Copies of this chain bind each other. A is one copy, B any other.
Amino acid sequence: MENLLVKYVSKSLSLSVEEINAIEQEIVIRDFRKGTILLREGEVSTRCYFNLKGLVRQYYLVDGEEKTTAFFAEEQAVNSFESASQRIPSKHYLACVEDCTLVVGDLSTETDFLERFPRLEILVRMMVDQDFGKQQEMLASYIITSPEERYLKLLESPYNLIQRVPQYQLAGYLGITPESLSRIRKRILVK
């Protein structure tokens, strides 16, 4: 069976046989059922994930209510950097919105693995930098754009979140109520 991670990495690097073998033999890829909680508030994150298939949601529990703050779709890294890097309890949850196939990285062995394969290390570093960049722009977009503009941007995104995600989660993610989201959708349909 084709290894999805090898396939993904091969888009950026022409992998050597050693690199392919190492990825296939040492890197864990697991299937998770829809609804699986990958990380709970209060737990210290010891894993990093990379999404090969499916959709993962990040949310906070505020006064008993789930507040959706991020989605991680195909070919996106799923990390709780604050918890993992400082070894402090996570403030949020990570849960599978759909059945998922994820690379499961163990932070304690990741460094050793990457030291043995410098080209993969460079690739991972580049991915972290790019993710960081997206995160910075996303944060800025919450300040400089309106929820309607963010919704329009989601419509253009290749991940098709609007079809994949329940409306109340999408509304939270846009920073608005489900009623406001419904109004925005109507306005856009009219246009």
Contact = CB atoms under 8 A, between A and B. Distances in A.
Interface in A89-136: 91-92, 125-126, 128-136
Contact of A126 (B85, B133, B172): B85
A82 B136 contact: yes
Nearest to A140: B69
Contacts of A144: 60, 62, 67, 69
Secondary structure of the A side of the interface?
Answer: helix
A130 B81 contact: yes
Contacts of A178: none
Given A128-B128, A130-B86, A133-B86, A140 B92 contact: yes
A80 interface: yes
Nearest to A174: B143
Nearest to A144: B67
